[in-house]
Structure 1
Amino acid sequence: MTHGPPAEPDLCLSKNFVLHDVGDPASPLVMASPHSGRDYPEAFLKQSRLDLLSLRRSEDAYVDGLFDSAPQYGVPLLCASFPRSYCDVNRYAWELDQGMFRERLPEGSLTNTDKVRNGLGMMARIAGAGRGIYRHQLPVSEAYERIASCWLPYHEALEAMIERSLARFGVCLLIDLHSMPSLTHLRLPDIVLGDLHGKSCAGSIVDGVAACMAKAGFSTGRNRPYAGGYITARHGNPSGGVHVIQMEIGRGLYLDEQIVQPSAAFSTVRAQFERILPEMIALARGLEPASTGRACA
């Protein structure tokens, strides 16, 4: 099947995200890249004991560039501009380490989750190879500011994309784009598709996405070691018409991980993904509208 580019996409610029929107979506397929932001606030860099390269190694660097042709095919693409080490929108807003702050966090904060214990709450405590980010404890007002300026606007934009797809098509397929580091102790496929072990997306759809990836020459796995995060859990509701897949792409395919820059293979990998966009669109077009309720949590 061929699907040529429709009208030029609309570019919505916010202070902390970029929405490559389309006036006439080709299908219920939407894409988002929450961890590829690389605009580091100067105040954050001054708070950090780490150099910029060490901080950048926590990015899903340039994943947004691998899919930047999606809007030309009628697929909206939302990209965070801020780095995940500054604000991780794939966490609950108040999923934070109490030890990072001088004052008590608000009641109801999640301070003892696995992510927080590992130093990877909404405001990460560590970056790179487990190295502490901050020189000193922070005021709780810093968390309020990052939620208001980054976390909330990103989620409002993502929810609007999902709601529009539901209103137009009765269904939505969100591909949440991420990347995974090369791990010498673990042999991973090129791409891991996370569906929270069947909770966030119908199995037949995950099978279809895996088949699209195979056509492009990528090997795929499912849920191990990445089953999905907050975004997948919050929005994934197959019975309500929202199917969410967290797609983890091996950084070794396209990135020089030491210097956090696109490798010589970047253009080739980008072209591989672009070639299967029409197949992804066709897959989304074939989804049955939800028969029960709304999808967003």
Structure 2
Amino acid sequence: MTPVTVIPGDGPLVLGQPHVGTMIPPEVSVALNDRGRAVPDTDWWIDRLYAGIAERTGATVVRQTLSRFVIDVNRDPSGVSLYPGQNTTTLCPTTTFDAEPIYRDGCEPDAAEIDRRRRLYFAPFHVALAGAIEAARIRHGYCVLYDCHSIRSVVPNLFPGTLPVFSIGTNGGTSCAPAIRAAAIDAAEASGMSFVADGRFKGGWITRHYGAPERDVHAIQMELAQSAYMQEAPPWTYEAPVAARTEAVLDRIISAILEAASKLEA
């Protein structure tokens, strides 16, 4: 079972897609309950939503094929929380976003099992992602890592109220150049759709770990409300007309980011 898929491109953009996978290795599947095997917290359809953008920009896509319920490649591998004091999920989640258990009683992963998954399933994704970033940086002199995420617009266990359509995360402005952050915000604001920058979602471990503006690697996370392109309840149907409008805005945001990045290098 291959934990990562890379679709190579020749542009400066790398699209990370760490939570689109739904595959579960057999040895993990037998330990999960029915809720866990249904993988409800998947970033459904993110690969489809960004496919046209990837083609138009020549982006390299790095996609995790395994479910985040196996191991979350957007969490600190040491297990340290990215959001201290707030509800969140862990490196190897044992509950859903709604705090519902996903394992059969007594079958939660222990330290040895977590370490095994870290080696087999976490490491390959990051080897691939780091390689894609470095290849783009060498080719163009810089790289923009855009981390693609989505989540239900209402998850009371994680955040109050309704999530804006676009949540831009730059770890408080440290993971990318100020001009890139500003370009993303300006394009989101111009859309007329709701957005926030560095709110509840400031960027996960991927954004925080790889973002290094001093090395010409600019990382930005987009947490997208799933209501903007799909039905948020099973069977999680893709809604093409709604998605087309959202994709057009995402395209403008990414174009603005890439333009800002190119000017930094001019």
- TM-score band by shorter chain is 0.7 to 0.9
State the AA in 1 paired with 2:42: E
Matched, 1:286 2:257: no
Matched, 1:247 2:222: yes
What's the offset of the Cα at 1:262? 3.1
Correspondent of 2:150 among 176, 179, 182: 179
Counterparts in 2 of 1:77 and 1:113: CA distance versus 1, 3 Å: closer
Matched, 1:257 2:228: no
Correspondent of 1:129 among 98, 116, 133: 98
SS of match in other structure, 1:32:
strand
State the match for 1:103 in structure 2. none
Correspondent of 1:80 among 64, 77, 83: 64
State the match for 1:92 in structure 2. 76
CA distance in structure 1 between the aligned counterparts of 2:86 and 2:187, rounded to whole angstroms: 36
State the AA in 2 paired with 1:33: Q
Supply the RMSD in Å over aligned alpha carbons.
2.7
State the match for 1:61 in structure 2. 44
CA distance in structure 2 between the aligned counterparts of 1:232 and 1:286, rounded to whole angstroms: 21
Correspondent of 2:185 among 210, 213, 236: 210
Tell me if structure 2 keeps the 8 A contact 1:30–1:173: yes
SS of match in other structure, 2:148:
strand
State the match for 2:33 in structure 1. 49
Decide which moves more: 134-143 or 198-207: 134-143
What's the offset of the Cα at 1:248? 0.7
What's the offset of the Cα at 1:38? 1.2
Higher-Rg member (1/2): 1
1:20-39 equivalences under 5 Å are 20-22=7-9, 25-26=10-11, 28-39=12-23
Counterparts in 2 of 1:208 and 1:223: CA distance versus 1, 3 Å: same
Aligned pair count reads 257
State the AA in 1 paired with 2:14: V
SS of match in other structure, 2:222:
strand
State the match for 1:149 in structure 2. 120
What's the offset of the Cα at 1:222? 0.4
SS of match in other structure, 1:77:
strand
CA distance in structure 2 between the aligned counterparts of 1:116 and 1:178, rounded to whole angstroms: 22
Provide Cα deviations, 1:46-66, integer angstroms capped at 9, x if missing partner. Answer: 21124357x422111111211
Normalised by the length of structure 1, the TM-score is 0.76
Provide Cα deviations, 1:56-96, integer angstroms capped at 9, x if missing partner. Answer: 2211111121101234221111111011111101112231x
Correspondent of 2:203 among 201, 204, 228: 228
Tell me if structure 2 keeps the 8 A contact 1:251–1:257: yes
SS of match in other structure, 2:59:
coil
Provide Cα deviations, 1:186-219, integer angstroms capped at 9, x if missing partner. Answer: 2432101011111111222112123334555543
Identity %, equivalent residues? 25
SS of match in other structure, 1:51:
helix
State the AA in 2 paired with 1:157: A
Unaligned runs of 5+ in 2: none
CA distance in structure 2 between the aligned counterparts of 1:80 and 1:116, rounded to whole angstroms: 28
What's the offset of the Cα at 1:239? 1.8
State the AA in 2 paired with 1:259: P
What's the offset of the Cα at 1:261? 1.9
CA distance in structure 1 between the aligned counterparts of 2:171 and 2:230, rounded to whole angstroms: 27
CA distance in structure 1 between the aligned counterparts of 2:170 and 2:88, rounded to whole angstroms: 24
State the AA in 1 paired with 2:94: R
Normalised by the length of structure 2, the TM-score is 0.85
Tell me if structure 2 keeps the 8 A contact 1:39–1:82: yes
State the match for 2:135 in structure 1. 164
Correspondent of 1:272 among 244, 248, 252: 248
